[in-house]
Amino acid sequence: MSAVLSARGLGKRYGRRWALSDCDLEVPAGHVVGLVGPNGAGKTTLLHLGVGLLAPSAGSIEVLGRAPSDDPAQLARVGFVAQDTPTYARLSVEDHLALGAHMNPGWDADVARRRIDDLDLDPTQRAGTLSGGQRAQLALTLAVAKRPEFLLLDEPVASLDPLARREFLQGLMEVVADHEVSVVLSSHLVADLERVCDYLVVLVSSRVQVAGEVDELLASHHRLTGPRHDVASLPRDQYVIEESHTDRQSTLLVRHENPILDPSWTVEDLDLEDLVLAYMGQAGGSTRKRRGDTPRNGVAKLGVAR
Amino acid sequence: MIRFHLDSRSGVSPYMQIVQQVRNALRLGLLSKGEQLPTVKEVVAQLAINPNTVLKAYRELEHEGLVGARPGVGTFVTGTLAPASVAAHGPLRQDLQRWIAKARRAGLDDESIEALFETSFRSSTQAEIA
């Protein structure tokens, strides 16, 4: 399957600070991709590079097989919902739809109208008086009704209450089920994305730490607990992401290619949050010490982005 | 029509929860041959989950011969999960109860029994995969 987003050696520098560096990424089409990382990791920068709001300082990025540009034909294929789902406060819901129809050649008025009806929005109401959840839904409606092939959303649910968050994701998943659209959405909370994304990109400190299909990531990462082990003695296909030892016990979080055969380990599944936090810990080189624990991070550097 | 629900703390993947809920509905007679499962769109609109998760669950059920997809119409129940497997429950439960009694006599407490069951279950599952 072709890539909706591919980056090679991509970097963006602000003055002397790299907001994104050495980014190699190949995101296949047909996925809902969760872009996860702490605040300031470079998520917004990556998305802005993807939609052409920023130009790379290094490397290259392609979206739907082409470099992002202001060419109308390319813009029509890509939808973008910026952080905090901005709308025009003084314009009504109806005005927003008219504006969308005017500015987008492929505007699908039926889709827009149906969503506004389903959401029970009053077409004459000004966007400034809508609730946060309604505003987010309006912004999503605009991005969806242009019928893009690829939809990028920057922290769309961060400022929403749990109910509005759920409703927004329900709406987004309906769109994915209805139209063949690939989606990237970012969040600093993996819990927000756990149910909706089937592909994950973890970005920490301006670098991609791991990327892949959620099922594959969960199948290839486990927590091993057992009597104290020397990490150097592990089979070659096991990479340690996180380790902690007491005088008699070792707890490892490993990425592995083959089944764990050593019977002295108790093998536990991870959830997505454990996995993301481990990579964040590795990248952050956390120096926090827990009593009785001696965490050491970053033993094996992974060849991650495939 | 049945309605799915997800338990996010169960540790069971959402796709497997859907598969299990269909199987259970078949076992309990809540679903029978010819009945339609909710469409992918209905499920995602209700649960806010990825459409691929639902498709994967439906494909798995199709593979098991329990449901069939009619393109453009929906997914319908084609199989049953009745007596054969339920009939086996009784004797298996008896065996298990005997085994548990034996473990207690050997001095194992509830937690040890659970741990022993889980590790044996896991290693036999892994042996099947390997």
Residue B86 has a pLDDT of 63
The residue from A184, A215, A246 where one domain ends is A215
Residue B11 has a pLDDT of 74
Task: Please check whether residues A14 and A119 belong to one and the same domain.
Answer: yes
CA A25 from chain center: how many Å? 12
**Smallest Cα distance from B16 to chain A, Å:** 12
Written as one string, the DSSP assignment of B48-94 is ---HHHHHHHHHHHHHTTSEEEETTTEEEE-----HHHHHHHHHHHH
SS3 A95: helix
* Measured distance CA(A205)–CA(A188) in Å, rounded: 13
**Smallest Cα distance from B95 to chain A, Å:** 26
Which H helix or E strand runs over A101?
helix A93-103
Interface test mutation site (partner B, options A119, A140, A174, max chain B beta carbons within 10 A): A174
Task: Please check whether residues A73 and A25 belong to one and the same domain.
Answer: yes
Residue A1 has a pLDDT of 54
Written as one string, the DSSP assignment of A4-20 is EEEEEEEEEEETTEEEE
CA A288 from chain center: how many Å? 27
CB nearest to A177's CB, from B51, B126, B130: B51
DSSP strands (E only) in chain B: 67-70, 74-77
Pinpoint the residues of chain B covered by CATH 1.10.10.10.
14-77
Report residue A306's pLDDT band, with 50, 70 and 90 as the boundaries. very low
Which H helix or E strand runs over A274?
helix A272-284
A95 within some domain: yes
Q: Which domain holds residue A103?
A: 3-215
Is residue B126 within 8 A of residue A259, CB to CB? The reply is yes
Task: Please check whether residues A47 and A129 belong to one and the same domain.
Answer: yes
Answer whether residue A175 shows pLDDT above 60.
yes
Interface test mutation site (partner A, options B52, B118, B129, max chain A beta carbons within 10 A): B52
Task: Please check whether residues A172 and A256 belong to one and the same domain.
Answer: no
Task: Please check whether residues A204 and A240 belong to one and the same domain.
Answer: no
A141 within some domain: yes
Task: Please check whether residues A58 and A107 belong to one and the same domain.
Answer: yes
A303 within some domain: no
Query: What pLDDT digit, counting tens, does each position of B23-58 carry?
Result: 999 988 888 899 999 999 999 999 999 999 999 999
- The enclosing domain of A146 has a CATH number of 3.40.50.300
CB contact under 8 Å between B44 and A197, yes or no, is: no
Answer whether residue B129 shows pLDDT above 80.
no
Residue B83 has a pLDDT of 59
pTM greater than 0.90 (yes/no):
no
Answer whether residue A290 shows pLDDT above 80.
no
**Cβ–Cβ contact A196 with B under 8 A:** yes
CB nearest to B50's CB, from A32, A171, A271: A32
Average confidence (pLDDT) over A79-95: 93
Residue A71 has a pLDDT of 83
Residue A230 has a pLDDT of 87
Is residue B80 within 8 A of residue B65, CB to CB? The reply is no
Question: Amino acid identity of A111?
Answer: V
Task: Please check whether residues A207 and A233 belong to one and the same domain.
Answer: no
Burial pattern A98-118, b for ≥16 Cβ within 10 A else e, equals eebeeebeebbeebbeebbee
- ipTM summary value: 0.77
* Measured distance CA(A179)–CA(A148) in Å, rounded: 9
**Total tally of structural domains belonging to chain A:** 2
Answer whether residue A149 shows pLDDT above 90.
yes
The first and second tokens of residue A127, run together, are 């966007």
**Smallest Cα distance from A215 to chain B, Å:** 9
The residue from A180, A215, A250 where one domain ends is A215
The structure tokens 């799915």 sit at B4
| Class at the top of the CATH hierarchy for domain B14-77 | mainly alpha
Task: Please check whether residues A123 and A255 belong to one and the same domain.
Answer: no
Task: Please check whether residues A51 and A195 belong to one and the same domain.
Answer: yes
